[in-house]
Amino acid sequence: MITMQTGPQPADFADVRATNLAVVLRHLRINAPCSRADIAAATGLNKATVSSLVADLIERRLVKETGMTERRIGRPATMLVLDGSPYAAIGLEVNADYMTAVAVDLAGDRLLSWRRAFAGSSSNPGQAAASIAALAKRAVAKVEKDGRRTLGLTVGVPGLVDGDGIVRIAPNLRWRDVDLRSAMRKALNEPPYPIEVENDANLAVLAEQRYGGFADAANLVYLTGEVGIGAGVICNGHLLRGSRGYAGEFGHILVDPTGPVCGCGRRGCLEALAGIGAVVSRALPDASASSPTELEPEVEEVVRRAKAGDPKVLDVLAETGRHLGYGIATVANLINPEVVVLGGYFVPLSPWLIPAAELELASRSIAPESGGTRIVASHLDLGAAATGGAARVLDTIDSGRLPTR
């Protein structure tokens, strides 16, 4: 559960110190290596404050001195970099056809990245939770074997997750009211670190903000290109969860009241027309696309045929791009983001999807030049939600709430 602040709150000196620790960590994340004097100059904090903050960070092994110095007039400066070598943050993603696990250190360097096929849509919630917990256990064992302490673990799921970590609805997993957080805590023997469950698109957009080159986009939308299509939305620089955590249900925008039945039970939802299952079954009517196996090889076949100029496949992709553009226009009219990032299986299909989506966006946008909204493919690999799960754990540290010693 991500908390939010409404209205001004009293500032006291503990808040100021946490804020300033956060400023130093963020400055180092972007600019390291740099000296204490560099930090002071760039942040406006005085040198004594920076020294005290850095001492605190070094003591917790979040920052280290490199020994490297810079040539300058006067005394040589000791350079600082993020350390975080004793820590690991873990993210997992479960989807209709695969699971992923990612672990990163505090500098954001990836410690592991695993992907495995998973018949999510044909497992029952108990089996699924056991499979996810088994993957989590292996990831934790791996980082702890390497001498690291697990700071936290976040699981991304393609569905509505409430503030208690209960998955209320995940249509493409056929889940309702699954208390995944408790199941995970139990399967991992009530570990000392926090376990969170979040919507996969919310985690993916956090990953894009942190690692995707969109740190400056205050309004950013990520679309998961899976069997379902969820949106992760950042507004004014912060993740939008909405009142109960159910924001971002992009896939259920109504496109065609006479369209195919969606996983949610309604007709003509965007994801029933433009989700990857629909795309594969229309582009490869000969393939057994209804099987719950991994869709990766089928998407590769669609790409191969598109590259070869197969007119049937090109038609399907152009139509899919138009459907996406229609949905993106609705989002652009309502939220006016700088960027909409296509993720998941949309990434390899993006050369064919984006031009059609851009035309539709331009024709349906009320704002001039589509309000400046750009459509791009993610540069992160398929583990965006898992990477974002790990990033969620790092956010706690970056906001100046340091791990206890």
Q: Does position 366 bind a copy of itself by CB under 8 A?
A: yes
Instruction: Please give the DSSP secondary-structure letter assigned to residue 6.
Output: -
Binding region for a copy of itself (CB under 8 A) out of 102-110, 119-127, 216-224, 283-291? 216-224
Rounded Cα–Cα distance for residues 199 and 3 (Å) = 15
In single-letter form, the type of residue at position 117 comes to A
Q: Alpha-carbon dihedral of residues 195, 196, 197, 203, nearest 10 degrees?
A: -120
Binding region for a copy of itself (CB under 8 A) out of 86-94, 132-140, 182-190, 392-400? 392-400
Identity of the residue, 195 or 247, whose beta carbon is nearer to a copy of itself in the bound complex? 247
Q: Does position 400 bind a copy of itself by CB under 8 A?
A: yes
Sign of the torsion angle spanned by Cα atoms 323, 326, 331, 332: positive
User: Which of 47, 110, 186, 238 is the binder for a copy of itself (CB under 8 A)?
Assistant: 238
Q: Are 155 and 196 in contact (CB under 8 A)?
A: yes
- Does residue 158 have a cis bond before it (omega within 30 degrees)? no
Q: Does position 373 bind a copy of itself by CB under 8 A?
A: yes
How near is the Cβ of 213 to a copy of itself at its closest, in Å?
Answer: 14
- Six-digit token string for 238: 């912060």
For the chain, give the number of residues: 405
Query: Scanning the structure block, which residue is given the tokens 């936290």?
Result: 152
Q: What are phi and psi of 199, to 5 degrees?
A: -60, 135
Binding region for a copy of itself (CB under 8 A) out of 65-73, 100-108, 166-174, 377-385? 166-174
How near is the Cβ of 267 to a copy of itself at its closest, in Å?
Answer: 11
Rounded Cα–Cα distance for residues 363 and 369 (Å) = 10
How near is the Cβ of 187 to a copy of itself at its closest, in Å?
Answer: 26
Rounded Cα–Cα distance for residues 23 and 34 (Å) = 14
Q: Does position 44 bind a copy of itself by CB under 8 A?
A: yes
User: Which of 34, 90, 203, 231 is the binder for a copy of itself (CB under 8 A)?
Assistant: 231
User: Which of 77, 81, 188, 215 is the binder for a copy of itself (CB under 8 A)?
Assistant: 215
Q: Are 294 and 117 in contact (CB under 8 A)?
A: yes
Q: Does position 19 bind a copy of itself by CB under 8 A?
A: yes
What is the footprint of a copy of itself within residues 93-152 (CB under 8 A)?
Answer: none
Q: Does position 247 bind a copy of itself by CB under 8 A?
A: yes
If we measure between CA atoms, which residue out of 75, 74, 63, 73 comes closest to residue 32? 63
3-state secondary structure of 34: strand
Q: Does position 189 bind a copy of itself by CB under 8 A?
A: no
Q: Are 228 and 96 in contact (CB under 8 A)?
A: yes
Identity of the residue, 4 or 308, whose beta carbon is nearer to a copy of itself in the bound complex? 4
Binding region for a copy of itself (CB under 8 A) out of 87-95, 97-105, 107-115, 239-247? 239-247
Question: Count of residues binding a copy of itself (CB under 8 A)?
Answer: 69
Q: What are phi and psi of 239, to 5 degrees?
A: -60, 135
How near is the Cβ of 214 to a copy of itself at its closest, in Å?
Answer: 11
Q: Does position 43 bind a copy of itself by CB under 8 A?
A: yes
Label the pairing between strands 374-377 and 339-342. Answer: parallel
User: Which of 4, 74, 190, 286 is the binder for a copy of itself (CB under 8 A)?
Assistant: 4
Q: Does position 399 bind a copy of itself by CB under 8 A?
A: yes
Give the count of alpha carbons within 13 A of 244, CB side only: 10
Q: Are 345 and 277 in contact (CB under 8 A)?
A: no
Q: Does position 317 bind a copy of itself by CB under 8 A?
A: no
Binding region for a copy of itself (CB under 8 A) out of 58-66, 187-195, 325-333, 384-392? 325-333
The number of angstroms, rounded, from the C-alpha of 143 to the middle of its chain's C-alpha atoms is: 21
Interface with a copy of itself by CB under 8 A: which residues? 4-12, 15-16, 19-20, 22-23, 26, 43-45, 160, 168-169, 171, 215-219, 231, 233, 235-238, 240-250, 252-254, 264, 266, 326, 330-331, 333-338, 364, 366-368, 371-373, 398-400
